[in-house]
Amino acid sequence: MNEYFPPNKIPIALPVFLPPNPNPKSPRPHSEMETSAAAASAGGNLVLILDYGSQYTHLITRRIRQLSVLSLCLAGDAPLASISSLRPRAVILSGGPHSVHLPNAPSFPDSFLEFVEQNGIPVLGICYGMQLLVQKLGGEVSVGEKQEYGKMEIDVVRESGLFGAELVGKHQTVWMSHGDEAARLPEGFEVVARSVQGLVAAIENPSKRLYGLQYHPEVTHSAQGMETLRHFIFNVCGITADWKMQDVLEEEIKVIKDMVGPDEHVICALSGGVDSTVAATLVHKAIGDRLHCVFVDNGLLRYKERERVMATFESDLHLPVTCVDAVEQFLSKLKGVKDPEAKRKIIGREFICVFDDFAHDLEMKLGQKPKYLVQGTLYPDVIESCPPPGSGRSHSHTIKSHHNVGGLPKDMKLKLIEPLKLLFKDEVRKLGSILNVPESFLKRHPFPGPGLAVRVLGDVTEGNALDILRQVDEIFIQSIKEAGLYDSIWQAFAVFLPVQSVGVQGDQRTHSHVVVLRAITSEDGMTADWYYFDQNFLVDVVRKICNSVRGVNRVCQDITSKPPATVEWE
């Protein structure tokens, strides 16, 4: 299939609730236990998405939630018992990079089709998902003579559950990404839309409540894709839009109370960012003073971050926070390490060592040792840390390990509580607003868990790279704030490159460091575009950096979108 999507602008969506992962040794993106409680809170209106490996399956999830309907993801090869236990009102089969012709191509479980038919559950296959339906029901999928990628025009040829009568005979622009095609449909299916090249674009078997789209309605490039999903969810499935943000808070608090015993204590890793702050506030609301927050200064923080964050915790959030100075502990372990994956895993391991030590100190004070660790892990972290195909847990490709997902040691003693694990950043901000977290905190730009270690390329302990980066980053961020641009940008930061360039400063030749400025716009961090600064703004920022930061004589701007790049450089 070889899917590719350019950056998409996705409107703010309602979030999905998933309780914490009960097994910290297996941080799966689509845990069965996590989805069970979520289904119970869906009021019988759950849309289940089976994931067949597209890096953008989450866009389907977000689109459905945007309709005020709860949607959850499971791995495409999840057991039928896991699917049936959720009692979905509808199932969507996602796209993916595979071909149904390949050996061991991912598929839904045995008896899935019998299950949905017996229970009257509508199924919508998207791209690979549609081809899977065609093949499994006796149709034919072949390698297409005319491959279709990118924006294409389709014609709606008949009224169906996916298209209203008013669209029959009209064109609409959609986003195609497929090399295979449905050459012969199974018995009972009709073509309801074709591409301008004459290929099958949409099919249906209304008597069996089975539908398929060869294109991707979830991306914004499919101009009427949202309306098509709306038709399917409300007209075909008869689902009610009755799921609210407040449900997330109430159900999450209930799960935390059920999980943590009445006398048990919990540690929360606070970074000073939006995610950990909202997670801490939520858990504090559930268990009160049995939550013990710890802020770790690992030597990889931004300019004066420790002083600023601790003051805010005390004055605005009123959370009990202990600051641990672990600068030497982290930097000594990172000395000489250049590989980004190795850096992330070292940082993850050292964080857990700090938390274990903190738990031991609390045990001496309280007479019992805390059993749980709260982290602000988000859905993008989990998606990008998915294991590769063939692992039996996901068909998605690993992009990078996150220190609080793939970087955690297998022998950690604390059990994880990750109340935001399948939420996106904008959804976390919505939840934080309900919890009365100060707006100044909610609007903070994201900061990576490994801190500046992934913004200093190479060995972070070499020379004065961290000090230089902190100064450059501070000038950049303060300039953005002074220009009134901070809230228009999803994330902005500086990167230190392990190269030097020749320059002229003070009428003398210099051989100094190169830094890069990066600013992006995004809705969820999964796709992003670079921010277009005014030329005068950039001229002023570069002048300030080169005049104020000793050791820098060249400033570059990163103008790469995601994809093909990631947000961070490592």
Residue 142 forms beta bridges with which residues? Answer: 181
**Dihedral of CA 504/506/510/512: which sign?**
negative
Query: Do the bridges between strand 491-505 and strand 200-205 make them parallel or antiparallel, or are there none, so unpaired?
Result: unpaired
Question: What are the backbone angles phi and psi of residue 484, rounded to the nearest 5°?
Answer: 75, 25
Distances 328 to 79, 309, 333 between C-alpha atoms, Å: 47, 20, 8
Whether the CB-CB separation of 82 and 116 falls below 8 Å is answered with no
Query: Which single residue is written with the structure tokens 């270690």?
Result: 453
**Dihedral of CA 441/443/445/450: which sign?**
positive
Residues 301 and 316: their CA atoms lie apart, in Å, by: 21
**Dihedral of CA 114/117/119/121: which sign?**
positive
**Dihedral of CA 570/177/71/129: which sign?**
negative
**Dihedral of CA 84/86/91/95: which sign?**
negative
Catalytic residue positions? Answer: 127, 216, 218
Query: What strand order describes the sheet that includes 210-213?
Result: 71-75, 47-51, 90-93, 123-126, 210-213, 200-205, 190-195, 140-156, 171-184
Closest CA to 271 of 403, 467, 414: 403
DSSP, res 189: -
Please give the span between the terminal C-alpha atoms of the chain, in angstroms, as a whole number. Answer: 28
Name the amino acid, one letter, at 167: L
Residues 51 and 396: their CA atoms lie apart, in Å, by: 8
DSSP, res 541: H
Name the amino acid, one letter, at 325: D
Q: Sort 493 into a burial class: Cβ within 10 Å, 0-12 / 13-18 / 19+.
A: buried
Nearest-5° angle of CA 65, CA 66, CA 71?
10
